[in-house]
Structure 1
């Protein structure tokens, strides 16, 4: 069996890049989760529902950051052309849009971005199964 990746390496995507990206996403998510647990309540207009959404975004970002760390260590999937970029982009779109919407409800145009980010994450993980 060959160790050649299913698809050629994407420009700029490498194991070290995925590792760093996974570490940065995970660290940011932990910091945002801490802010959600302690500082978010002090902001005007924050409801229990918005805190729950914030926590969901932080959890998904941690899971996906860890996923990118794991993918970066895999000899085959660290060079996968689609998975890493899709998971990374999906995490930024999904979690980022929820964070932004929680902090500023006037950014309603970001509402449709959240499910697109979720679809990108799902597609990235499914591509690893192919």
Structure 2
């Protein structure tokens, strides 16, 4: 039960923050960020919203009786956090003239966790047929 609520809550929170960050990027950061930085920021927002939606859907469809379901959700939660929020940090710190370089390697780790989450989800669909 806790995993269901966590999944739904984090999905809703990620969705809420994606809308807020998207508006912030479109309005407040448009003049502050270079076009490539703004595009990166928007990529972070887009991926965050995609994974907010999938977390809400999974929260209503998974029973979380199998470990695989929890692994999928944890990969999506941690992957989204590492991927999107490291992009936000890189963009905002660069715009302020103090680029946080340590965030650079974190983004691909988050992306890898997202890929693993999707691969596990795909596997969970085909595993019963094997």
Q: For 1:56-115, what per-residue CA distance to the aligned partner results, in whole angstroms no more than 9, with x for missing partners?
A: 100000000001001101134686120001100000000000000000032011101111
Determine the structure 2 residue equivalent to 1:9: none
Q: Is 1:14–1:78's contact at 8 Å kept on the other side of the alignment?
A: no
Distance 2:15 2:63 in 1: 22
Distance 1:78 1:128 in 2: 15
Matched residues, number = 117
Q: 1:78 to 1:56 in 2, by over 3 A?
A: farther
Task: Using the TM superposition, give the Cα deviation of residue 13 of structure 1 relative to its aligned residue in structure 2, in angstroms.
Answer: 5.2
Determine the structure 1 residue equivalent to 2:77: 88
**Matched residue of 1:125: which SS?**
helix
Distance 2:75 2:104 in 1: 19
Alignment RMSD (CA, Å): 1.7
Q: Is 2:3–2:70's contact at 8 Å kept on the other side of the alignment?
A: no
Determine the structure 2 residue equivalent to 1:107: 100
Q: Could you tell me which of 7, 31, 35 is aligned with 1:48?
A: 35
Map 1:1-130 onto structure 2 (within 5 A): 14-43=3-32, 46-76=33-63, 80-105=69-94, 106-130=99-123
Q: 1:112 to 1:13 in 2, by over 3 A?
A: farther
Return the structure number with greater helix share: 2
Q: Any unmatched runs of 5+ in structure 1?
A: 1-11
Task: Using the TM superposition, give the Cα deviation of residue 50 of structure 1 relative to its aligned residue in structure 2, in angstroms.
Answer: 0.5
